[in-house]
Every structure is written in C-alpha cells, then in structure tokens.
Structure 1
Amino acid sequence: MSLDPIARIRRFNRAVTRETGVLDQSFLGRGRPLGTARVLHSIGPEGRDLDSIRAYLNLDKTLLSRTLRGLQDEGLVTLAPHPEDARRRIATLTTAGLAEYHAYNTLSDQQAHALLARHPKPETLLAAMDLVASALTAQAITLEECDPQSRDAVYCLEEYYAELGRRFDTGFDVNLSADPEAADMMAPRGSFLVATSDGLPLGCVGLKGTDKGYAEIKRLWVSPASRGLGLARRLMDAAEDKARSLGITTLRLDTNAALPEAIRLYETTGWHQIDRFNDDPYPTHFFEKHL
C-alpha cells in the first residue's frame, strides 16, 4: 500500500512553513514577518519598479502598497516616480534599508548552512530542492540570450560536458569534440540561450553560424531537476526562431545514441536523419531541419 500523496504534500508544506518561518512575526529575529522581509529583499541594492516587485512576488497591489508604507514608516524605503514613466514608481532602499538587506542576507545564509550541515547527504537534499523549485516555478522560467563565455553559460556547458562524460561509454573530452568558437554563437552569426529561474541557470542551447549554407544547434542541455517540463523543446523552439531572425533556413545537429531522449525530441519536432556531416568522434546520429 502506498502512502497518500496528498498527505505527503501537506506534510512537506508544513515542514517548509516551519523551516522558513512563514508564521513568525519576527522573521530571522529582525522584527518583521517573512512577507515584509521578502519585499525589502526584492527591492535590492539597485532599487526596483513596483510592477516588477508585484510580478516577482505574485503580490496583490493593495498588500504591496501596505507593506511598502510600513517600510517607509521605518525609514527603510523611499518611493519616487520612474524616470522614464511618471505613472510608474521605483522603490529604493535607504542607508538603513540597505543595512537591513545585508543583515537578512547574512542570517539567511547562516540558516541555509545550518540546514545543510545537519543533513547527512547535503547534495541529495539540494537536488531535491532543485526538483521542487523547478516544478513550482516552471511557468516562470525565462530564456535569455547571452555571451557563451558568461558565467551562467559556462556553468551550463560544464554541467553538459560532465553529463556526457558520465553517459558516454568512452567518456567525453571537449578538446576532442568539434567545440564551436564563442563568436560563432553570437550575433550576427549565431546565438546562445540560457534558461534561468530566479537567477539560477537551468539549461542552454547554442546556435552556431557557419559558412557552409547551414547553421548548427549545439550544446542543448537541461538541468536534471528541470527535465520533463518541456524546457528542452522551449530552448529548441527559441533557437529556431533566432535562426529565422538571422535569415538562416537550414539547421543541422548531431547527437549520440547514449542520449535517446534527445533523439526522440528531434524525431518528434520535424528533424530528419541525414548522413554524417562532420568528423567529430562522439556523435552517432545526424539530423537536419529546413525552416
């Protein structure tokens, strides 16, 4: 007999409520409830548009206004018209507000370290947290074009290479692969897209420009915690849209038999298999798609 899934979810919710201090009137001992602390933190050192805060925290407009008034009364926040649109307002932290922001960060970091320290398998715990966070925020995952040498891009690529090393019988050495030049995955030749959620990178894909009459899709990767949410298809669709905007009409890609989920994705989204078109030692399957 399996345990009741609803009971398990409710147990999880209660545990998170206790651990995060949702019901505390003095979150982390700073004299304010969690909701108020989250609003202060979301403003950040650079300040933030009120509409952006509401969207980020999914807050009712009236509740946000009431919370901001409280922070103003404490001398932690100031409000001013947006410099480009007087109908909008910008919230900015005062010197005292910045001090509270940093105090919350320090205490929150300490709380997180303590949680990891008391668990026998911290990496397993983090993986479970990543899985839950991705499931709860799937609709909030955004795709951003970035430099393939940026921090988030490099993180995704390193995770991608490490996974290939685990899954390929021969291992994977990027120095033996036909690794694309960064400039080939930047406008006007190509593009590099990274999927992020709340600032954390969850996946990537590269569009590599060539001088051969076609462009290539390279380095499609999705975090294990975000798989099954349609993110790989979103990344591929975005890469194809970017190719169209650059006037590219033919795309090619290669993959390995050890990645059957990738092969299924290509076979069900309009790609067709072709003969080998490069001398990369790792791929076993080759695909093409006309846009």
Structure 2
Amino acid sequence: MFDNIARLRRFNRAVTREVGALDHSYLGRGRPLGAVRVLQLITRQGTDIAHIRAKLALDSGLLSRLLRALEAEHLIQITTDPTDRRRRTAQLTPAGAAEMAAYDAIGYAKATETLNRAGNRQQSLLEAMDLIATTLLRDQLEIRDADPNDPAAIACLQSYYDLLLEKIDGLTPDMLTLPLSDPDNYRAPHGAFLIAFSDDLPIGTVSLRPLEATIAEVKRLWVAPHAQGQGLARRLMQAIESRAKSLGYIHLKLDTNEALTEALTLYRRDGWSDIPAYTSFPATHWLGKTL
C-alpha cells in the first residue's frame, strides 16, 4: 500500500503545477498567483482589506506589497474610512474589472479543459474536489442568513429533496414544494433560513418557521455528502436553536423519517425527545425540545 503522506504530497505537487502557483505570470497576464488571488477578492463596491488578509491568511507586510503593486497598475484604488482611520477598503477600478473579466475567461477555459481530461469520470473528480476543498477550508466555513427564494437556498432545498426521494419509500416529487409556499415564515421576525457556505459554495442548510406564539418548527436540515463527518450538522442545529431563542421562541418541534438515521441520532444526542405526532407522511418520528 502506498504511503498516505507520499500520496498527499504528490497531490499537492500536481495542484501546484496545474494552477500555476510557481509561475511568475499566472495565466500569462504578467502577475504571480498571489497578486491575482488578492485581485479576485476585490469588488467594484469595495472590500475591507482586513477581510482580504483573513481570507488569504496573509501577513500584513506581504498584503501591503501586493496591494501597492495592483494600485500602481491602476487596477485598484484604496480608501480610508473617515470614521475609522484603521479601516481601509480596496476597490476595483474599471481597468481592474476588465482585467478580472480576462482572468475569468481564461480560467473558465482552463477549468473546462481539466474536466474534459476526466472523460466520463467528471462527476467523481468533482466530488473528490469538493471533499478536498471543504476539508482544507474548514476554518473558513460561515453560516449566514439567506432568503428562502435565493438561488443558493433553492439549490440546497433541491439537494435535500433529492436525498428524501432516494431514502424514503413512497415519497414522490409532487409531495415536495419548491420554492416554498410560505417563504415569509422563514424570514425575520417570524423565522430564519440559514445556509453554511464554504468559500461561497453552499454546503448545508437548516430553517425555522413559527407554529404558535412561543413554538417554532425546525425544518430541512441538510449537509452535502462531501461536508459530512465534520460536525456541520450539529453546528447548523446549534445556530438555528440560538436563532429561535433570540426570536422569542421557548419550545421547538421537528419531524423526520426513520430512514434518516444519522439525523435521528443527532437529534436524540442533542436533547430532543419524542412528542405526539403533529404531521403526517413522510414523517415517522416527531421530536421536541425546550430552549
């Protein structure tokens, strides 16, 4: 059996070569990859420099040098917040926006070429990439509010419904509503729709809607397969329970199906207990929790 460390280091070398990390001119446009990664995080509306530093884990000296170089090329402009002199913002200029469009076009073509090399194994390759990226970016995972009709929310719900259709016998697509028929119930101040993002890719969701004045229902906990096993489901449940408490709810309910064994195990381990049935099929188990 091949040494696991050697396999990982081989993978690192392959990625380094593929992305051009050592090239003085990334994608042939005259700048190293580090400068381009900084440029990618800057928007026309402006990006806080502290956010860029945290996102890329750069020391302030290196980031300052990269920003000065981009500014000298007239690709960005840097401003200081008049109310807080310590806060600086970088903003794309029209020339910077045009340069990013050129990088995006070249990058898209290169990514297409890489996927084409995989032939009929593209899906397996993408799933492996998702697993690796989510693992490496675990420290940058963010749970954020979303509107229930946002495209990211719809994508998460579709993946959740796909899972239900795969797992639950007798469930059919016409029993599932997409988009949600009652989106206002998942918006403040009534409820919430949370999405877990890994570098802006949605990888998990959970939501909350009101049932009575002090009772709310937790709905549609889902975690992408490549993000499972890292404690994300528990983090989402803790986040939605905290949100429910902040909205004034005292009791929570949820329903689930016996086929979703991992979810049932999580709920029971986190203090949810059986309650009388309050919904019908596809639910087979009903649980409650007092906050």
> What range describes the TM-score normalised by the shorter chain of this pair?
over 0.9
Q: Secondary structure at the match of 2:95?
A: helix
Contact between 2:203 and 2:223, CA under 8 Å: does it hold in 1?
yes
Q: Give the unaligned 5+ runs of structure 2.
A: none
**TM-score, normalising length: structure 1:** 0.94
Alignment of 1:103-114 (within 5 A): 103-114=102-113
Partner in structure 1 of residue 14 of structure 2: 15
User: What are the superposed Cα offsets for residues 69-105 of structure 1, whole Å, 9 maximum, x if unpaired?
Assistant: 1112222222111254222211122222222111111
Alignment of 1:178-257 (within 5 A): 181-211=182-212, 214-257=215-258
Partner in structure 2 of residue 166 of structure 1: 166
Bigger CA drift: 245-254 or 70-79?
70-79
User: What are the superposed Cα offsets for residues 2-23 of structure 1, whole Å, 9 maximum, x if unpaired?
Assistant: 3211011101101100110000
Counterpart residue type for residue 255 of structure 2:
D
Answer yes or no: is 1:278 the counterpart of 2:279: yes
Paired-residue identity, %: 47
Q: Secondary structure at the match of 1:85?
A: coil
Count of aligned positions: 288
Q: Secondary structure at the match of 1:193?
A: strand
Answer yes or no: is 1:151 the counterpart of 2:151: yes
Alpha carbons of 1:176 and 1:99: their partners in 2 closer, same or farther (altered >3 Å)?
closer
Contact between 1:44 and 1:101, CA under 8 Å: does it hold in 2?
no
Bigger CA drift: 2-11 or 37-46?
37-46
**TM-score, normalising length: structure 2:** 0.94
Bigger CA drift: 111-120 or 167-176?
167-176
Distance 1:39 1:271 in 2: 45
Counterpart residue type for residue 130 of structure 1:
D
Distance 2:115 2:82 in 1: 43
Distance 1:195 1:285 in 2: 26
C-alpha RMSD over aligned residues: 1.6
Q: Secondary structure at the match of 2:44?
A: coil
Q: Give the unaligned 5+ runs of structure 1.
A: none
How big is the shift at 1:153? 0.8
Counterpart residue type for residue 192 of structure 2:
S
Partner in structure 1 of residue 288 of structure 2: 288
Q: Secondary structure at the match of 1:201?
A: strand
Partner in structure 2 of residue 45 of structure 1: 44
